[in-house]
């Protein structure tokens, strides 16, 4: 029997508002001492009244619109009842039948194929507190997190593989960061995911009992847990000819790399939802929603598409740029400055004409220097591109020097390292260190001839078939030219000289 994997995700995104969802306590309690960012409201004391966070509601609408959701004119908050030690009121303020966003969608690319995953709903709720456990078997409750505003995003069961689930979450994290509503750091709990998974015969549209997998705190954990659960359920299908009968909740145990049964799955009726009588209902003005829609920034998919079509990057490099909003913005500033440099060298043509004329070479050069060389020296120094130790203007000037062959790649790398260490203009460093490319091809021919003539032993080894000796000659020439010669030109001249 051929079986199809059916996955739906329930995702919680922690919003980075200054205050909590229903009180004025700081929303940065994760960085504070336990139980210091609290008040009677987020502790659920009798007689207290919740006051909704306007920024959280605005960001929820912005996010829903970015995910192509419809915004109903009317929404409300509800009480979701259940008892757990880290839930101060024994109910959670959430939203049930009238969420903020419905019928949305998000596109992911898997193996070059675009896949659309429908969004069932998006709503706001408050987070619970946090349980802390020590090695003595004791448990403590830190209420700093209680009341933190959460977006819950529920997908339809449109995901067909663990890898696709991981890619969906990575893309969602990027969108949250582009919108500026959340850091969406999964390892810090800013983005949390429960995954519902079942199998069904291929071609069927029937849904069978599902398992909800919890405790997923990384993208890899999501993919590994779902892969394990698919394997476990497939074994039941193959043994019995039907789906597993239980519909429950399982936790992911990272150490054993297995899912373990936790409890039976509750239904919505178990939570005894009813409208929260203390919170006014929400009525969204159509004009305000339209203004909010216009505030949506360029999103990751649009950046990737533009980097390919406008700048000429290949899809892999475009994806790398778009994966970091700071890097993408830096790259665009470099490109803008690079166009200025190129125009100053060719005043007869516009910047766009120059770029279009040599787009393939320029995009390849930029990808090499920004994604490989620049990020490499930053990592080695423990620095960040956001620190602006190398300005976009100076980076563009250095790339222009390489593009125009005024400096070879190895010396340009030395200049880049100097720029990181002490700042400054690359042209100044080039003159100060005398790192400019050799302009006299005749002198390079003489240097190559001199190196070959003064190393007869190595010449015999090379001509007898010891090809590795060639790099010795390259090194000798580069040393005599103080690294200023073009390695490609050196190799060509050496091969010609050694062939005589």
Q: How does pLDDT run across 471-492, given as a tens digit for each residue?
A: 887 778 777 777 777 777 777 7
Residues 282 and 308 in one domain: no
d(CA 124, CA 99): 8
Total of domains in the chain: 3
pLDDT at 368: 96
Q: What is the pTM of this model?
A: 0.86
Residues 427 and 386 in one domain: yes
Residues 43 and 91 in one domain: yes
Residue 275 has φ and ψ, to the nearest 5°, of -60, 135
Last residue of a domain, one of 415, 433, 451: 433
Taking the CA of residue 141 as centre, how many other CA atoms within 13 Å lie in the half-sphere pointing to its CB?
A: 11
Q: What is the residue range of 354's domain?
A: 300-433
Q: Closest Cα partner for 249 from 277, 280, 215? A: 215
Residues 251 and 364 in one domain: no
d(CA 384, CA 40): 41
- Considering all CA atoms of the chain, what is the largest pairwise distance in Å, rounded to the nearest integer? 97
Last residue of a domain, one of 387, 403, 433: 433
Strand 3-14 versus strand 248-253 pairing type:
unpaired
pLDDT at 442: 64
Residues 60 and 187 in one domain: yes
pLDDT tens digits, residue range 251-309? 998 889 899 888 665 666 788 999 999 999 999 999 999 999 999 999 999 999 999 99
Residues 161 and 272 in one domain: yes
Residues 392 and 491 in one domain: no
H-only helix segments in 368-486: 375-381, 392-403, 409-422, 426-433, 441-453, 456-463, 470-480
| C-alpha distances in Å from residue 190, one per residue of 27, 40, 322 | 12, 24, 21
Residues 412 and 452 in one domain: no
Residues 110 and 54 in one domain: yes
Last residue of a domain, one of 433, 461, 485: 433
Mean pLDDT of 197-207: 94
Residues 286 and 360 in one domain: no
**CATH number, domain at 483?**
1.10.10.410
pLDDT tens digits, residue range 119-140? 999 999 999 999 999 999 899 9
Residues 307 and 400 in one domain: yes
d(CA 461, CA 439): 32
Residues 212 and 64 in one domain: yes
d(CA 13, CA 112): 28
Query: Could you tell me which residues come within 8 angstroms of residue 347 by beta carbon, excluding any fewer than 6 positions away?
Result: none
């Amino acid at each position: 029997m051929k079986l199809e994997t059916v996955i739906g995700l329930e995702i919680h995104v922690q919003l980075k508002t200054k205050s909590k969802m229903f009180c004025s306590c700081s929303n940065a309690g994760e960085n504070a001492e336990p139980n210091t960012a609290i008040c009677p409201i987020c502790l659920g004391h009798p007689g207290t009244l919740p006051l909704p966070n306007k920024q959280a509601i605005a960001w929820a609408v912005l996010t829903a619109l970015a995910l192509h959701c419809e915004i109903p004119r009317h929404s409300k908050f509800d009480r979701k009842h259940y008892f757990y030690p880290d839930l101060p009121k024994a109910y959670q303020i959430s939203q049930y039948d009238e969420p903020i966003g419905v019928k949305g969608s998000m596109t992911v690319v898997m193996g070059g194929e675009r896949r659309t995953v429908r969004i069932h709903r998006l709503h706001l709720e408050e987070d619970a507190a946090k349980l802390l456990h020590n090695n003595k078997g004791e448990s403590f409750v830190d209420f700093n997190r209680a009341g933190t505003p959460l977006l819950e995003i529920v997908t339809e069961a449109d995901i067909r593989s663990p890898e696709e689930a991981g890619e969906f979450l990575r893309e969602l994290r990027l969108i949250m960061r582009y919108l500026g509503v959340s850091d969406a750091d999964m390892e810090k709990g800013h983005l949390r995911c429960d995954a519902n998974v079942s199998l069904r015969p291929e071609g069927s549209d029937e849904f069978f009992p599902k398992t909800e997998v919890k405790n997923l705190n990384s993208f890899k954990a999501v993919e590994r847990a779902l892969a394990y659960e698919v394997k476990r359920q497939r074994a039941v299908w193959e043994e019995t000819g039907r789906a597993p009968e239980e519909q429950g909740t399982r936790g992911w145990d990272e150490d054993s790399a297995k899912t373990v049964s936790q409890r039976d799955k509750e239904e919505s009726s178990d939570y005894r939802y009813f409208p929260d009588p203390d919170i006014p209902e929400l009525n969204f003005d159509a004009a305000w929603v339209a203004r909010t829609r216009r505030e949506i920034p360029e999103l990751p998919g649009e950046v990737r598409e533009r980097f390919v079509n406008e700048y000429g990057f290949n899809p892999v490099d475009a994806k790398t740029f778009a994966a970091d909003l700071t890097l993408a913005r830096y790259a665009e500033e470099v490109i803008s400055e690079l166009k200025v440099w190129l125009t100053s060298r060719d005043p007869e043509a516009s910047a766009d004409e120059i770029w279009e004329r040599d787009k393939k070479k320029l995009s390849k050069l930029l990808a090499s220097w920004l994604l490989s060389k620049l990020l490499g020296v930053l990592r080695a120094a423990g620095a960040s591109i956001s620190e602006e130790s190398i300005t976009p203007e100076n980076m563009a000037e250095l790339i222009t020097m390489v593009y125009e062959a005024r400096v070879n790649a190895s010396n340009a790398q030395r200049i880049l390292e100097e720029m990181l260490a002490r700042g400054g203009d690359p042209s100044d460093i080039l003159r100060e260190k005398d790192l400019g490319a050799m302009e006299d091809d005749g002198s390079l021919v003489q240097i190559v001839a001199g190196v070959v003539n003064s190393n007869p032993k190595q010449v015999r080894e090379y001509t007898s078939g010891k090809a590795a000796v060639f790099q010795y000659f390259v090194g000798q020439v580069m040393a005599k030219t103080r690294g200023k010669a073009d390695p490609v030109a050196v190799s060509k001249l050496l091969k010609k000289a050694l062939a005589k």
